[in-house]
Copies of this chain bind each other. A is one copy, B any other.
Amino acid sequence: MKITDRQKAVLKKIHDFIIINSYPPTARDVAEMMGFSSPKAATDHFTSLEKKGYIRKNSLARSIKLTDKAFGILKQGYSYFSFPAAAGHAALSYLPLIGNIAAGNPALAYENIDEYIPVPESFTGAYGADFALRVKGNSMIGDHILNGDMIMVKARSTAENGEIVVALINDEAVVKRFYKTENGIELVSSNPDYPPIRINIKDAGDSVKIIGRVVAVHRNI
């Protein structure tokens, strides 16, 4: 279903409020801006806008975020080429770019976070991503993942057959294809120079751990 003119007007007011104040409006703020006498009118619009994918929110105060789709609507007619983002709250996930994954875990311990990278949701697929890593080495070149590429990872402790995963082997993060075997698991490179790593699950103990599935690859040329 398409966005209505009224919903678009509300969306624009939300956007403008964020631009001006640096924080999102409440239902009552929107009601006042739109001239509604009840916050319910605003929250009804929020529900519609969220259903149509233009905003996201939770039940906390001032938690509305605009999505990529919203910015697409709001910026129409702007320019042929790219334009800078104004102050706003695009639905970006800020993924922590993990440096060294330290022994002892958790893998996402605060100390390991070098920086945060703003990543548009459309870049991480349906399930999103939880963190990013920079690839070291060319062991996955057969899957077109190269040294220096940035990968985005959905955190998970298990994997399906054939998925490309990030695993922790003796506290070192590696990218490999995951396969189940009779006795355990196999982590396979897509570069013939690197032999597959076979792990008998009984022997492995805590030395091998799946930490997530690769959902996106990004490379600067």
Q: Which A positions have Cβ atoms within 8 angstroms of B?
A: 16, 18-24, 26, 60-65, 68-69, 71-72, 75, 77-85, 87-97, 106, 108-110, 113-120, 122-125, 128-131, 141, 144, 146, 155, 164, 214-221
Contacts and interface: CB of A to CB of B under 8 A. Distances in A.
Given A82-B96, A128-B82, A146-B144, A65 B116 contact: no
Contacts of A72: 115-116
A65 B22 contact: yes
A81 B18 CA distance: 25
B118 A120 contact: yes
A90 B118 contact: yes
Contacts of A155: 81
The residue among A96, A130, A131 with the most chain B CB atoms within 10 A of its own CB is A96
A178 B61 CA distance: 46
Chain A binding surface, main DSSP class:
mixed
Contacts of A108: 80-81
Contacts of A128: 82
B90 A87 contact: yes
B118 A84 contact: yes
Contacts of A164: 221
Given A125-B220, A216-B218, A221-B216, A20 B94 contact: yes
A118 B94 contact: no
B94 A75 contact: yes
Contact of A118 (B92, B106, B113): B92
B95 A82 contact: yes
A123 B208 CA distance: 31
Contacts of A79: 96
A181 B69 CA distance: 44
Given A26-B61, A62-B62, A217-B218, 16 more contacts: A68-B115, A79-B96, A80-B96, A80-B106, A81-B131, A82-B129, A84-B117, A85-B90, A87-B87, A88-B90, A90-B118, A92-B92, A125-B221, A164-B221, A216-B221, A217-B221
A44 to B, nearest CB: 21
Contacts of A215: 220-221
